[in-house]
């Protein structure tokens, strides 16, 4: 491996499953934005069976497995996917709620600023959002005896920070910026939707073929 400490830090971050973006890892992101650096990184990753990929919006870099048919690789991917799906519903609900609580009025995206006070104001003015906040907190395993929107929201923001989806702005803990991990989550969700669509189409084809065979057997015109 190169003696360049930034090259080493980049590889370690990628191989540990980290997402590189300008919010969470600005130094590595700007270093990796060079096409020459990307080729060097790929040159090191490829013999390890890994590759370098970017999210569709070009906001983030991450490492992928090149041979997904390998048994050990499939085991790792199943484990990673299981970890993701454990919080899948909570993340989807959070994305939906963010449309109603942010000034941008769209589901949270990379680079968006999340203001605790702004979100709290919207949540406290809507009983439906307060109920949704409780559901999301429960889905994330954040249970409490007192239904306090401020406390719930703060714990959720801290949880998303620990998960790598938010980075604090300043030291107050009241403002965050969304990281590029949201971009990867969106790509994964889109991939799952496509796979579900393909699976549904295959089921419909199989049912149609089965019906045709049954009709032929019974002599139905």
The number of beta carbons lying within 10 Å of the beta carbon of residue 111 is 16
Region 28-39 average pLDDT: 96
All structural domains of the chain, each given as residue ranges with its CATH number in brackets, are 5-77 (1.10.10), 87-179 (1.10.10)
Could you give the CA distance from residue 112 to residue 74 in angstroms, rounded to a whole number? Answer: 34
Could you give the CA distance from residue 218 to residue 155 in angstroms, rounded to a whole number? Answer: 63
Q: For residue range 39-59, what is the model confidence (pLDDT) as tens digits? A: 999 999 999 999 999 999 999
Q: For residue range 106-150, what is the model confidence (pLDDT) as tens digits? A: 899 999 999 999 999 999 999 999 999 999 999 998 877 667 899
Which range has the worst mean pLDDT, 35-49, 65-79, 163-177, 204-218? 204-218
Residue 217 has a pLDDT of: 42
Give Cα separations from 117 to 153, 154, 176 (angstroms): 10, 10, 11
pTM of the model: 0.83
Q: Is the pLDDT of residue 184 over 70?
A: yes
């Amino acid at each position: 491996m190169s003696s360049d400490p930034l090259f080493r830090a980049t590889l370690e971050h990628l191989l540990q499953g980290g997402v590189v973006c300008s919010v969470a890892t600005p130094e590595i992101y700007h270093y990796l934005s060079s096409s020459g650096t990307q080729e060097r990184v790929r040159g090191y990753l490829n013999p390890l069976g890994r590759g370098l990929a970017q999210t569709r919006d070009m906001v983030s870099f991450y490492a992928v497995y090149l041979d997904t048919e390998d048994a050990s690789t499939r085991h790792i991917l199943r484990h990673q996917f299981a970890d993701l799906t454990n919080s899948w519903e909570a993340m989807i609900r959070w994305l939906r709620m963010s449309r109603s609580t942010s000034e941008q009025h769209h589901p949270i995206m990379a680079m968006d600023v999340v203001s605790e006070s702004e979100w709290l104001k919207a949540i406290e003015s809507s009983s439906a959002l307060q109920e949704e906040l409780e559901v999301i907190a429960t889905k994330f395993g954040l249970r409490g005896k007192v239904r306090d929107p401020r406390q719930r929201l703060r714990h959720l923001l801290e949880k998303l920070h620990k998960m790598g989806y938010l980075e604090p702005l300043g030291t107050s803990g009241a403002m965050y910026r969304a990281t590029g991990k949201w971009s990867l989550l969106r790509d994964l969700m889109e991939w799952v939707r496509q796979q579900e669509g393909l699976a549904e189409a295959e089921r419909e084809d199989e049912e149609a073929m089965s019906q045709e065979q049954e009709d032929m057997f019974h002599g139905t015109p």
